[in-house]
Structure 1
Amino acid sequence: MTEPTTGTLRVPGAVLHHERRGSGPPLLLIPGGAADAGLYAGLAPHLATRYTVVSYDPRGMSRSRLDGPLTDQSVEEWSDDAFRLLDLLAPDEEVRVLGCSSGAITALALLARHPERLRTVVAHEPPLLELLPDPEPYKALFAEVRQLCRTDGPGPAMARFAEALGGGGAEAERATELAPEIREMAPRMHANLPVFLERVLCPFAFSVPDLAGLRRAGDRLVPAAGRDSRGQLPLYGPVARLAELLGTEVAEFPGGHVGATERPREFAERLLAVLD
C-alpha cells in the first residue's frame, strides 16, 4: 500500500496534521469520534485511483496539537479548519467531501457556510440528536457518558455508551478483523477518547444544523447511513429526519455506523457511485 504524503497546516489555535493520496479531483475525508486520519487508511486506497484523497487529524486529536488548554470544541471552528485545509490543498477547485459520525456534523456545517467550495457532501450518520422526535433521553445519555469519563475514565464511559446504543460482541469481533493500518490507529484513538467524550461528543451531538443553509445547498448534499444501522434511532434517526426536512432520501451504504472501516472496499464502491 502506498504511504500517504503528510504535512501540517497552521490554523488559529492549532496545527493540523493532514495526509494525501492519489491523483485526480480532490476528495476530503473528515473523521469522526475519537478517530484521526487513520480511520480512512483502509478506504482511501480504493478511492485514490480516481481522486486526490485528503484526510486529517481534527484539532486536539492525535498529531493535531492545540496551542493552549483543551476546552469544549466547536462545530463552527472545526468547519473553519476544514475550509482552511481546502484552501491549502485545492484552492481553485470544487471539493467532494465525506464526513462520518461527528465528522458528518462538521461536513454539514462546512456545506452550509461554504457551498461554493463544495461539489458533493456525503454526510454519513451525523448524530444530531435535536433532529429526533424526543432527543432528551439521548441527550441525558450522552451527558452521562461525558461525566462518567471525567469521573471513572474512558473505559467505563465507552462501555456504558456501547451498552446503551446496542453495541456488543459482534462489533468487538469485527474490530479484530480490521486491517492492520486501522489497528495501528487504535492506541492513538484510545488516547483521544477523553478529548472526544469530554469535549466533542456533547457540543457536536447537541448542536442544531443550519437547515436554511443546507436547503440552499441541497443539490450538493447526500444524507447517508449504513444499512445495518436501520432501527438504531440515535444513529439512523437523525439523518433520516434531515433527509425528510430537505425533501430528499437517505443513501444507504454497506455496514453500519463504522462501515467505512468494517467494509472499506464495498463502502468505497458505493461512495464512488454516489460521487459520480
Structure 2
Amino acid sequence: MAETDTRTLQTVGATLHYDVRPGTGPDPRPLLLIGSPMDATGFTTLASHFGDRTVVTYDPRGAGRSERTDGAPENLPEEHADDLARLIEVLDAGPVDVFASSGGAVNALALVAARPDLVHTLVAHEPPSAPVLPDHEAALALCADIHSTYLREGLGMAMAKFIALVSRTGPIPATWAEEPAPSPAAFGLPTEDDGTRDDPLLGQNMRACTSYVPDFAALRAASTRIVIAAGKESEGTFCARTAAGVAEGIGTPLAVYPSNHGGFLGGEYGQHGAPAEFAEALRASLADA
C-alpha cells in the first residue's frame, strides 16, 4: 500500500485529522472506513486488504488526534455527519463508498439522510440505535445510566456496565436497575476513579449515539445504496439487534458478516476478529452496487 498522507480539516467546532492511502487499482472512488468513537488506528488491518482502493480513515471529533474546539461535552450524530460531509467534499472525488462501524454507522446513517449525493454505497455495521428496539425504553435508560455512572464514578464502573450491555443477549428487562452492578475487576478495569472525564465513548458519545432515531423516510428515498450488516457471532446482542431493527426500518435484508462487532480487527486494541473474511464480505457488498 502506498504511503499514507495525513491531513487536517477545520470544521464547525473541531479540527479533524484524516489519512489518505492512495490505491493501486483502477477504481477512482475512495473508500471511507469510519468508526465512532474509534479512531483511524482501528482500521489499520482492514485498510490493508483494500490496497487497490484509495482508502480514507479519520479520527472523529473528540477522539484520537481530532480535537473539539467549541468546548462542548457531548457529540451529536448530526455533528459527526456534518464533519463527514465536509471531509468528503474536500476529497473532491465524487460520491464515495463508506464502511461504517458501530457509532460510525449511526453517524453515516445521519450523513446519508442529509446528503445522499455524497455516498454511493454505505455498509453500516451494527449501528447501536436503541430506539428501533421493542425494549427501547429500558435500553435507553441503561445507556443513560452508563453515562451518569461515568460522570459520577469514573471509567472503571461505567465501562464495566457498558461491556455488560453490549455482551448480553436478548431484550433488556425493565428491571435491569435491580441487577447487581458488574465489577470492573472482572473485566480487568481500574477500580479506582482517576478523576478524568474525557473518555470519548462514555462521556462524549454514549447518550446521543444510542438515542439516535434514523430518518427512515429519507434513507428509503436516498440514492445511496445502503447495506446494514451484523456479525454472525453477534446474534442476539444489543448491536446486532439494533442493526436488524434499522434494516427492517429501511426495508432491506440484514447482511450477516463474519465474526462479531469487531470482526475487522486484526490485533488492534488486542482484539482479533476475522479480518480477511470480513474484508471479503465487504468487498462483495461493495461490488454488488
1:1-276 matched pairs, under 5 angstroms: 3-23=3-23, 24-32=28-36, 34-49=37-52, 51-89=53-91, 91-166=92-167, 194-217=199-222, 220-232=225-237, 234-261=238-265, 262-276=273-287
Contact 2:231–2:257 (CA under 8 A) maintained in structure 1: yes
Q: 1:148, CA displacement in angstroms?
A: 1.4
Aligned-partner Cα distance in 2 for 1:243–1:71: 31
Q: Which runs of 5+ in 2 are unaligned?
A: 169-195, 266-272
Aligned-partner Cα distance in 2 for 1:275–1:80: 24
Which one has more relative contact order, counting CA pairs under 8 Å at least 6 apart? 1
Q: 1:3, CA displacement in angstroms?
A: 4.8
Q: Deviations over 1:160-186 (max 9, x none)?
A: 21123327xxxxxxxxxxxxxxxxxxx
Q: 1:219, CA displacement in angstroms?
A: 5.8
> Which amino acid counterpart does residue 52 of structure 1 have in structure 2?
T
Larger radius of gyration: 2
Q: Which runs of 5+ in 1 are unaligned?
A: 168-190
> Which amino acid counterpart does residue 11 of structure 2 have in structure 1?
V
Instruction: Give the match for residue 184 of structure 2.
Output: none
Q: Normalising by the residue count of structure 2, what TM-score does the alignment of the two structures yield?
A: 0.81
> Which amino acid counterpart does residue 284 of structure 2 have in structure 1?
A
The count of aligned residue pairs is: 249
Q: 1:70, CA displacement in angstroms?
A: 3.3
Contact 1:83–1:110 (CA under 8 A) maintained in structure 2: yes
> Which amino acid counterpart does residue 39 of structure 2 have in structure 1?
D
Aligned-partner Cα distance in 1 for 2:124–2:234: 14
Contact 2:62–2:204 (CA under 8 A) maintained in structure 1: no
Structure 1 stretch displaced more, 57-66 or 212-221: 212-221
Contact 2:150–2:197 (CA under 8 A) maintained in structure 1: no
- Judging by fraction of residues, say which structure has more helix: 1
SS at match of 1:223: strand
1:275–1:192 CA distance, 2 compared to 1 (3 A): farther
Q: 1:76, CA displacement in angstroms?
A: 0.9
Q: Deviations over 1:133-183 (max 9, x none)?
A: 12111112111111111122112211121123327xxxxxxxxxxxxxxxx
> Which amino acid counterpart does residue 13 of structure 2 have in structure 1?
G
Contact 2:154–2:197 (CA under 8 A) maintained in structure 1: no
